[in-house]
């Protein structure tokens, strides 16, 4: 039963790959731009390699290989009135769905050659989706590089990562402790001693929690980076021709000619370490500086959390009663606006809108917790 499940999955994916190859070749046949035509043909060849790999695994299990002539291009199964770019967008979505299907397969396939093939195909299908996105986003192949390498998105490196950890730590500490302070102040009618002790306890707990969480998250991210690099190295050793072809396609999307791309890749291949470093950076977007430092993340996150958390507590060191509550609310809401505005350093939103949003959220949080405190005090 388990073997039949594997065979059924192989047959479905084999059909998808053959269908995709036919579709890319049909689109390439009518493509007037030589550069776009070349990329479509490369994608077709990649799909054909995937189909051949499935045939190899099916034969190993003694399964019958279907007749390719019975599979047709996707262009035969839908409206011909769709524009070329609309078709490319549809194929991009299909490639992304294929990535999802392959990842689902990885969740239950046993270790072995089939699993390794699926992992490789999943990565290549993700690259195909990026290539299609580049073709749609710009007719000029040279301008496709920004989309391909993801430069339009914010990339957090080790230098900017600690800033993000600090901002979100301050955000968390301020929000959480403001809620605690408001609730306890409402329950105790602003007793300075009790509110200050509760706020300090919450500050310490929040700082330790955020710091440990940031450390573990950064450590896990670094481990994922290393695993991705190791997998890329293994694929480069096991399928060097396919990996070189994939890198050549990336360079063609940058605007180089097919010959120039292959010449450049051939020179890189003479130095395996440089080739691996280039593949990792081009395909995965990983560099030596992209993995965060766990200790830096932990320290920046916990320190910023403590700073944000202490703000609502400060007035209760010197005051008590309603006056302390009002002062704490005012400085806390000002701090909410400042932290919300600073978040735009990592979110690229409008700083005023971000600051006001966090201020409103903080005000609502404070009113709710203060009201609950008053309610419990009167119970």
Q: Which domains does the chain have, with CATH numbers?
A: 2-140 (1.20.1260.10), 157-379 (no CATH)
Contacts 24+ apart (CB under 8 A), 1-9: 3/61, 6/61, 6/109, 6/114, 7/58, 7/61, 7/63, 9/105
Q: What b-and-e string marks burial along 185-203, b requiring 16 or more CB atoms within 10 Å of the CB?
A: bbbbebbbebbbebbbebb
Q: Tell me which long-range contacts 337-344 makes (C-beta under 8 A, separation of at least 24).
A: 339/167, 339/170, 339/171, 339/174, 339/308, 340/171, 342/167, 342/170, 343/167, 343/168, 343/171
Closest residue by Cα to residue 13 from 94, 101, 76, 88 = 101
pLDDT of residue 138: 44
pLDDT of residue 176: 85
Averaged over 147-170, what is the pLDDT?
52
Rounded average pLDDT over 248-263 = 77
pLDDT band at 353; cut points 50, 70, 90: confident
Higher-scoring residue by pLDDT: 339, 108: 339
Helix (H) or strand (E) holding 174: helix 158-188
Cβ atoms within 10 Å, residue 350: 12
How far is the C-alpha of 114 from the C-alpha of 118, rounded, in Å? 6
Residue-wise pLDDT for 283-315, tens only, equals 666 665 556 788 888 888 899 889 988 998 998
pLDDT of 243 strictly over 50: yes
pLDDT on residue 201: 92
pLDDT score recorded for residue 200: 92
Kindly state the percentage of the chain with pLDDT values over 70. 80
The closest of 377, 366, 348, 364 to 311, measured between CA atoms, is 366
Q: Whole-number mean pLDDT of the chain? A: 77
For residues 46 and 93, the answer to whether their CB atoms sit within 8 Å is no
Q: What is the pTM of this model?
A: 0.49
Tallying the residues shown for the chain, one arrives at 379
Q: How confident is the model at residue 152 (pLDDT cuts 50, 70, 90)?
A: very low
- Average pLDDT for 63-87: 70
Top-ranked range on mean pLDDT: pick from 152-156, 168-172, 200-204, 250-254 = 200-204
161, 168, 213, 241, 337 from 218: Cα distances, Å:
9, 14, 9, 34, 28
Residues of the chain above pLDDT 90, percent: 2
> Of 356 and 280, which is predicted with more confidence?
356
Q: Which residue has the higher pLDDT, 317 or 223?
A: 317
């Amino acid at each position: 039963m388990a073997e039949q499940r594997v065979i059924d999955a192989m047959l479905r994916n084999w059909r998808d790959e053959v269908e995709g190859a036919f579709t890319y070749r049909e689109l390439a046949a009518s493509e007037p731009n030589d550069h776009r035509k070349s990329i479509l043909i490369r994608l077709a060849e990649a799909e054909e390699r995937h189909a051949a790999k499935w045939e190899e695994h099916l034969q190993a299990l003694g399964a019958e290989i279907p007749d390719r002539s019975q599979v047709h291009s996707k262009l035969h199964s839908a409206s011909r009135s769709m524009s070329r770019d609309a078709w490319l967008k549809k194929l991009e979505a299909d490639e992304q769905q294929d990535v999802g299907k392959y990842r689902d397969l990885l969740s239950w396939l046993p270790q072995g050659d089939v699993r390794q093939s699926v992992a490789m195909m999943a990565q290549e299908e993700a690259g195909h989706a990026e290539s299609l996105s580049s073709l749609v986003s710009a007719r000029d192949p040279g301008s496709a590089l920004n989309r391909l390498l993801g430069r339009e998105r914010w990339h957090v490196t080790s230098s900017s990562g600690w800033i993000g950890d600090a901002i979100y730590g301050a955000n968390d500490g301020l929000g959480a402790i403001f809620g605690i302070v408001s609730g306890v102040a409402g329950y105790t009618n602003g007793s300075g001693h009790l509110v200050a002790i509760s706020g300090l306890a919450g500050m310490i707990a929040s700082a330790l929690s955020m710091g440990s969480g940031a450390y573990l998250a950064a450590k896990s991210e670094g481990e994922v980076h290393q695993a991705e690099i190791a997998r890329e190295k293994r694929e480069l050793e096991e399928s060097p021709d396919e990996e070189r072809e994939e890198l050549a396609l990336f360079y063609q999307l940058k605007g180089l000619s097919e010959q120039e791309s292959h010449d450049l890749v051939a020179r890189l291949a003479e130095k395996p370490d440089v080739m691996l470093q280039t593949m990792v950076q081009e395909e995965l977007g990983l560099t030596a500086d992209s993995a965060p430092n766990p200790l830096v993340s932990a320290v920046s996150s916990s320190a910023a959390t403590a700073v944000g958390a202490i703000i609502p507590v400060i007035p209760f060191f010197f005051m008590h009663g309603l006056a302390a509550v009002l002062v704490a609310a005012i400085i806390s809401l000002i701090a909410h606006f400042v932290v919300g505005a600073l978040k735009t350093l990592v979110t690229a939103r409008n700083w005023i809108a971000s600051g006001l949003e966090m201020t409103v959220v903080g005000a609502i949080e404070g009113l709710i917790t203060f009201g609950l405190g008053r309610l419990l005090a009167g119970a």
